[in-house]
A and B are shown apart, each in its own frame.
Chain A
């Protein structure tokens, strides 16, 4: 596409490093997926049990009201803060090799910020009344601050992740040699084009 074989080669290497499974889906991928999907299914079964029979199945009682749920929530929140701290510090000090690390750290931040609150949802006794948190908020309650802080954090970290991934999206878009593209109706390219509209504008501005 560019006519420069060298650039193409490095890009191919980069692509293989970044997303090795986008081109080929091997048996290893399927096995890994199956194991994690099985664990996921056990979780879903447990959740159905909890919804059907009530929170009594958690084994928690009046003296231990949050148990493992809050542990998981705090664990994922801690992960997300660690990611935010790493990317933030690297960004602040303008470290030369910061970009790949920031990418990783921000991905960790966003994913754990999405997973974490799910444990709060499992923990809440009346999930059907969850909108009350927004309908009748009381600002002095720490839970209201949880809602405000986590949603703000999520938006900010998602933007930061997007900004740090723009260059990678551009590579994926321009890379014509993708296996999926050959028989995949170019779905990926369309997606990356859509994702990159902001980046395009930025490019025009800098040029």
Chain B
């Protein structure tokens, strides 16, 4: 918004400048003015055009000299990202009966947030509650707790809880003390132990809502794709899941969707005996699970299809 305003004011001032030039030259023909303007353009501008995507999604051509450092925009983005979308309360429902460890959610997340391969915001665990019960796949995003322990231990306010229930991290504030990682009872947070080597596309600036780029020595985690939510789209993992395991929605609207079907959240919870992981901790997560009953796939199918490195993780999976 601000950017377009600036552009407008600049172009109007340029017009004024051209008018003045025209007056100064005096009685010259229209062709002369046009010629003058071309000359003055060439003098002050580099002449190189760069194609940019405007905030409303249109492709625009901008002169290279017009591009200014976006410090103010970053500040504005950050303050917006701290507020969040008011009047919303985002929730996720994960249907454990459908998950077969396709890992499409992990891949989509890593691609969308430009994460290195060893950096997983969405993690897939192989769980078994008891010796007598069957194993099941357990996708685990950030739970975006309503009483987040990570937020209360942060010494600099780099991680915060927004109005819409999302817990975000400000990469440029984080000092990397890792206290939030020890505070989180779900081991959701991941640390950038080395430089993630993110190649930021030209013109893109850091936005806490995308989490791009990840910075060495700071903490990252699932952010419910806050940038997508602002555009009224589903998070990347939800739209990537081929099985429709992940449902996303709004608690205040009482509806969740996995892209194919939209269901009433309260009814889904009641019908399928939904629960929250480790509710005894009192963190009040925003992510709900549906128990792995009447499963669509055997748990082994998820192991067969996965890579060797991924397979190795689940060697010792089982009850403790």
Contact = CB atoms under 8 A, between A and B. Distances in A.
Interface in A51-76: 53-56, 58, 60-63, 65-66
Interface residues of B, number: 29
Interface in B125-183: 152-158, 173-179, 181-182
Given A123-B177, A133-B175, 20 more contacts: A54-B192, A65-B178, A65-B182, A66-B178, A124-B176, A125-B175, A125-B178, A126-B175, A126-B215, A129-B173, A129-B175, A132-B158, A133-B156, A135-B156, A138-B154, A138-B155, A141-B153, A141-B179, A142-B153, A143-B177
B218 interface: yes
A42 interface: no
A132 B156 contact: yes
B216 A66 contact: no
Interface of A: 53-56, 58, 60-63, 65-66, 123-126, 129-130, 132-133, 135-138, 140-144, 147
Contacts of B217: 54-55, 124-126
19 contacts: A54-B193, A56-B193, A66-B182, A125-B175, A125-B176, A125-B219, A126-B218, A129-B156, A129-B175, A130-B175, A132-B156, A133-B155, A138-B154, A138-B155, A138-B156, A140-B152, A141-B179, A143-B155, A143-B179
Contact of A61 (B177, B193, B219): B193
A60 B191 CA distance: 10
Q: Which of B187, B193, B216, B218 has the largest count of A CB atoms less than 10 A from its CB?
A: B193
A135 B157 CA distance: 11
A140 B151 CA distance: 10
A74 to B, nearest CB: 14
B177 to A, nearest CB: 5
Given A55-B217, A65-B181, A66-B182, A125 B155 contact: no
A111 B190 CA distance: 35
A129 to B, nearest CB: 4
B195 interface: yes
Nearest to A125: B176
Contacts of A61: 193
B103 interface: no
Contacts of B194: 53-56
Interface of B: 152-158, 173-179, 181-182, 187, 189-195, 215-219
Interface-centre pick from B158, B178, B187 (highest chain A CB count, 10 A): B178
Contacts of A136: 156-157, 173
A54 B215 CA distance: 11
Nearest to A61: B193
B242 to A, nearest CB: 28
A132 B154 CA distance: 11
A22 B187 CA distance: 54
B174 A126 contact: yes
A33 to B, nearest CB: 34
Nearest to B176: A125
A63 B187 contact: yes
Contacts of B158: 132
Contact of B192 (A125, A132, A137): A125
A50 to B, nearest CB: 10
B176 A126 contact: yes
Nearest to A58: B193
Chain B CB within 10 Å, residue with most, of A56, A58, A61: A56
A58 B216 CA distance: 14
A60 B193 contact: yes
B112 to A, nearest CB: 21
A66 B155 CA distance: 16
Which A-B residue pairs are the 9 nearest by beta carbons? A125-B176, A125-B217, A143-B155, A54-B194, A141-B155, A65-B178, A56-B194, A56-B193, A126-B217
